[in-house]
Structure 1
């Protein structure tokens, strides 16, 4: 088998991914574009994210910068990724409904080495516990092979038990380590570091680039 070559079309074109292993469902993984901004923001607002337990810790002396507004972050990454190939946003569609979101995006400054990208996932409450989060994560790990960064990792908070279980279900190894980002403070206190993305290069999937259809062998 030839050595793996990244396929620029994942960044320069819009696409839809389907999985032969899930033919019984109208399940699609679609590149999130600015056209879906409103739907994305509505989804982000209604998704339940585990809350931190009560704590007696002293809050930081200086207020941290708020997290970027989801729609604005996505739009910027979409535009920049056409040349930088540093980020992909995906939404999971089930029977035509927006039920999940996943992303791989560089979290280190553009000129910093080694470059690091984070994997993130959010699911609608109604599909949690049905195995679809695991499928979405597998698709993201396959796509992580296309992102032009040195290191892939995932981070979450200790109290986010569902995300920790999800990561472990695909074999990711948990590390008790905090991640701090400039202006944001601590954004994770559990990391899944140095993900071996090569393990997911052969994920059986069909990619449709507008009027083109290719199989998992694309880029191989």
Structure 2
């Protein structure tokens, strides 16, 4: 079996992915570009993320020293940088032409830090939750994680985010209770899915359209 080679076109070109095995004829996974910034921000603002349960015993949390980047600004920066660094991909899931999900793989370690680590994240519109599309989006992201030029792939969430934990476990990811801290943001996860074996998803049956060129998984991917 030939050794797997990363395809730089995932970073230097824009693309659309479809899955022949899916019954939804208009389900697409599209590289998120700066042109969709406004739609991306509107989506991020309306998506409901489970909040921490209220408790009178919960300790007071100091605010982070600096705010998290605005989603659109982070996406635009990663899009520009990834054309040469190949360290990040943002994807949106389109169903019947509607923006219904977002997923990303992006390096969270410094460019000079080894081993390099990338995080996988997803968000879903409320109307599609519980329909199996989150699982499909996660599988597509893990297929794409093979293209990202980092050493380690992981995902993280909070203990109370039971839907995300169930989703990760449904494709065989194993969780570990461990805090994840990022500079300026403090603890961003206390459940980690570490050292994800991205190789398992290299053969995901998908068709990629790079502008005017269509490439199936059987071709030079």
Please state which band the TM-score falls in when normalised by the shorter chain. Answer: over 0.9
The residue that corresponds to 1:207 in the other structure is: 208
Q: After the TM superposition, which of the residue ranges 105-114 and 62-71 deviates more from structure 2?
A: 62-71
Matched, 1:32 2:40: no
Matched, 1:89 2:90: yes
TM-fit CA distance, 1:61: 4.7
Q: After the TM superposition, which of the residue ranges 56-65 and 74-83 deviates more from structure 2?
A: 56-65
Given that 1:77 and 1:88 are in contact with CA atoms closer than 8 Å, whether structure 2 keeps it comes out as yes
CA deviation vs aligned residue, 1:151-188 (integer Å, no higher than 9, x gap):
00000000000000000001000101110011110000
The residue that corresponds to 1:48 in the other structure is: 48
CA distance in 1, matches of 2:71, 2:9: 24
CA deviation vs aligned residue, 1:24-46 (integer Å, no higher than 9, x gap):
43100000000000000000000
The residue that corresponds to 1:116 in the other structure is: 117
CA distance in 1, matches of 2:24, 2:75: 31
CA distance in 1, matches of 2:168, 2:15: 25
TM-fit CA distance, 1:22: 1.1
CA distance in 1, matches of 2:86, 2:64: 32
CA distance in 2, matches of 1:90, 1:100: 8
CA deviation vs aligned residue, 1:56-77 (integer Å, no higher than 9, x gap):
3332456442211000000000
TM-fit CA distance, 1:112: 0.3
Given that 1:119 and 1:154 are in contact with CA atoms closer than 8 Å, whether structure 2 keeps it comes out as yes
Q: After the TM superposition, which of the residue ranges 71-80 and 48-57 deviates more from structure 2?
A: 48-57
CA RMSD of aligned residues (A): 1.1
CA distance in 2, matches of 1:172, 1:34: 31
Q: Secondary structure of 2:178's match? A: coil
Given that 2:64 and 2:186 are in contact with CA atoms closer than 8 Å, whether structure 1 keeps it comes out as no
Counterparts of 1:75-86 in structure 2, within 5 Å, are 75-86=76-87
Given that 1:7 and 1:218 are in contact with CA atoms closer than 8 Å, whether structure 2 keeps it comes out as no
Q: Secondary structure of 2:6's match? A: coil
What's the TM-score, normalizing by structure 2? 0.97
The residue that corresponds to 2:16 in the other structure is: 16
The residue that corresponds to 1:104 in the other structure is: 105
CA distance in 2, matches of 1:53, 1:98: 29
Given that 2:176 and 2:192 are in contact with CA atoms closer than 8 Å, whether structure 1 keeps it comes out as yes
What's the TM-score, normalizing by structure 1? 0.97
Q: Secondary structure of 2:134's match? A: helix
CA distance in 1, matches of 2:178, 2:220: 34
CA distance in 2, matches of 1:36, 1:78: 12
Counterparts of 1:123-142 in structure 2, within 5 Å, are 123-142=124-143
TM-fit CA distance, 1:216: 1.2
User: Is there any run of 5+ residues in structure 2 with no aligned partner, and where?
Assistant: none
